[in-house]
Structure 1
Amino acid sequence: MKKITVFLLAVVVLVGASSSAYAHSGRTDKNGGHNCSAKSIQKGLCKGYHYHNKKR
């Protein structure tokens, strides 16, 4: 029983870590970019339009 619990915990951690790497708060357009929200600009996270997962 302990081995199953450890295995399931490891799977949950690995899946959670891999999916959170690409998370962001805005939707992207056909070019893979979007405008920053006012909240993100205030925090200094980005400025204006920017891209995700694309080299530009």
Structure 2
Amino acid sequence: MRAAAPPPPQQGVHDEGGEGVGALRVLQITLGADTLAELDAIFPSPGPNGSKPAPEAYAC
């Protein structure tokens, strides 16, 4: 006799720790300088003013 499969988790249901059932946790990673430089090359800063926070980066 086969055992019944457990029911799927329900959205919005929380466990004792206050975390959502099936919730994803943030992954903490550290990127090296070479990886950050590669990302800067792939995704350059917007606008003519270089790497500044928005909206300054988009200002002319």
Q: TM-score, normalised by structure 1?
A: 0.23
In our comparison, the structure showing a higher alpha carbon Rg is 2
Q: Tell me the TM-score normalised to structure 2 length.
A: 0.23
Relative contact order: is structure 1 or structure 2 higher (C-alpha 8 Å, sep ≥ 6)?
A: 1
